[in-house]
Structure 1
Amino acid sequence: MSPPAFVPHAVDPAGPRIALFDLDGTLIPGDSDQAFGEFMVTLGWADATTHRARNNAFYQQYLDGVLDIDEYVAFSTSAWRERTAEELAWAQQRFMAEIIAPQLTPQARALVRRHQDAGDRVLIVTATNVVVTRPIADAFGVPELIGIEVQRDAQGRYTGLIDGTPSFREGKIARVEAWLAARGLRWDQLGHSVFYSDSTNDLPLLERVQEPVATNPGPGLEAIARERGWRILRLFDR
Structure 2
Amino acid sequence: MTKNLCLFDLDHTLLPLDSDHTWGEFVIRQGWVDAESYRAGNNAFYAKYQAGTLDIHEYIAYCTAPWRDRSAAELAAAHDRFMNEDILPAIHPVAVDLVRKHQAQGDLVALVTATNEFVTGPIAKAFGIDHLLAVNLERDASGKVTGRIAGTPSFREGKVTRTAEWLTGMGLSYESFGRIHMYSDSANDLPLMEQATDPVATNPAPSLETIARERGWPILKLFP
Calculate the TM-score normalised by the size of structure 2: 0.99
Residue 47 of structure 1 deviates from its aligned partner by 1.1
2:16 to 23, 29, 32: 29
SS in structure 2 at match of 1:127: strand
Query: 3-state SS of the aligned residue for 1:224?
Result: helix
110, 125, 133: which one aligns with 1:138: 125
For 1:31, the aligned partner's letter is: D
Runs of 4+ in 1 over 3 A off after TM superposition: none
Alignment correspondent of 2:101? 114
Cα displacement (A) at 1:192: 1.4
- 1:179 is matched with which residue? 166
Alignment of 1:159 with 2:117, yes or no, is no
Could you say what secondary structure the match of 1:208 adopts?
coil
| Aligned pair partner of 1:38 in 6, 13, 25 | 25
Equivalent residue in structure 1 for 2:116, among 129, 135, 146: 129
| TM superposition shift of 1:225 | 0.3
Distance in 1 (alpha carbons) for counterparts of 2:173 and 2:88: 35
> Could you give the per-residue CA deviations for residues 10-55 of structure 1, whole angstroms, max 9, x where no partner exists?
xxx2x22110000000000000000001100100011101111000
Q: Read off the aligned partner of 1:64 and give its amino acid letter.
A: A
Give the drift of 1:82.
0.7
Distance 1:150 1:45 in 2: 20
Note if 1:90 corresponds to 2:77: yes
CA distance in 1 between partners of 2:80 and 2:179 (Å): 36
**Matches of 2:132 and 2:8 in 1, distance apart?**
10
Instruction: Indicate the residue corresponding to 2:5 in structure 1.
Output: 18
Of 103, 108, 119, 2:90 maps to: 103
Deviation at 1:175, TM superposition (A): 0.4
- Alignment partner of 1:204 is 2:182: no
Pick aligned residue for 1:225 from 209, 212, 219: 212
Percent of aligned pairs sharing the same letter: 55
Name the Cα RMSD after superposition. Answer: 0.6
**1:57 aligned residue:** 44
5+ residue gaps in structure 2?
Answer: none
Instruction: Kindly tell me the number of residue pairs found equivalent between the two proteins.
Output: 224
1:216 corresponds to? 203
Q: Does residue 64 of structure 2 align to residue 74 of structure 1?
A: no
- What is the SS of the residue equivalent to 2:7? strand
User: 1:236 corresponds to which letter in structure 2?
Assistant: F
User: Which residue in the other structure is 1:3 paired with?
Assistant: none
Q: CA deviation at 1:201?
A: 0.4
User: Over residues 111-164 of structure 1, what are the superposed CA-to-partner deviations in whole Å (9 max), with x where a residue is unaligned?
Assistant: 000000110011000000010000000000011000001000011100010000
Amino acid of the structure 1 residue aligned with 2:56: I
CA shift at 1:188, angstroms?
A: 1.3
- What is the rounded CA distance, in whole Å, between the counterparts of 2:176 and 2:5 in structure 1? 11
The offset of 1:187, in angstroms, is 1.2
